[in-house]
Structure 1
């Protein structure tokens, strides 16, 4: 498990006075402002975030030391990370994506399927991308993924039968 969790990203400038368009990865998007200061992934830059208004595709925000549209635009694509210890603890059946990346995935018979490379959320629920001998996209549901054991670093999956 990592000591930092990605909680959002700067999607670009909003307006002409240094406001940014912020994409929050938090369950409650506005909570991103409560976990600061936020840092870049490498920890070299730190930002305090003050939300200003909802905007199309995210939130309008002011971040520390950003005063012009050019400053804001220069931050486009920067991911924002919070220290794990300021984030809420999760129920037993919820996980931070960062904790799932890299876990070994085995089927119900113990056969290794691969490792989790990414988690996608296209609105209908999370999908685990598992890379092994082949790429698998598994719905992250209790039926398909009955066991996640973070301590053992392993996920047990029961992939749906393929139509091939």
Structure 2
């Protein structure tokens, strides 16, 4: 995937039988995803328009131009929706796009390398950095100021103060 493309959501399967989809939005305001259309899939497929119809638990209900049936919606389950970085708003200094964090090295306050950010997860209670540590070990860090006091995108590093017992 190109660095100039940012994931703004993902298709989460069919909703009903007429091609409507469950749509997970990663935007601060979930319905804003419709304003970024056209969206594209990682394979280059273009979704020209998105119409938000409502909400369901954990997702939006939407009609996405180019998806016409339940079967097609189900076949696209899990497909990330991308938009060009230049179309996204600039962020304040203390906010980051997940794509900017993935791949950054993580070290503790003493400079010891802990690993590399593999993913940014959110299961409803806040963001968590998944860090690929040495020897295949996975470290999960709450993405809070207490656990991650410094994110320096320009220098390409993250400084973490992992909670007791997380290593």
Alignment of 1:1-164 (within 5 A): 2-42=3-43, 44-47=44-47, 48-133=49-134, 134-162=137-165
User: CA contact under 8 A between 2:9 and 2:25: conserved in structure 1?
Assistant: yes
Q: Secondary structure at the match of 1:162?
A: coil
- Unpaired segments of 5 or more residues in structure 2? none
Report the TM-score when normalising by structure 2: 0.89
Q: Secondary structure at the match of 1:73?
A: helix
Displacement of 1:122 in angstroms is: 2.1
Displacement of 1:81 in angstroms is: 0.8
User: CA contact under 8 A between 2:141 and 2:166: conserved in structure 1?
Assistant: no
Q: How many residues align?
A: 163
Report the TM-score when normalising by structure 1: 0.90
RMSD after superposition: 1.9
- Unpaired segments of 5 or more residues in structure 1? none
Displacement of 1:163 in angstroms is: 8.5
Q: Secondary structure at the match of 1:80?
A: strand
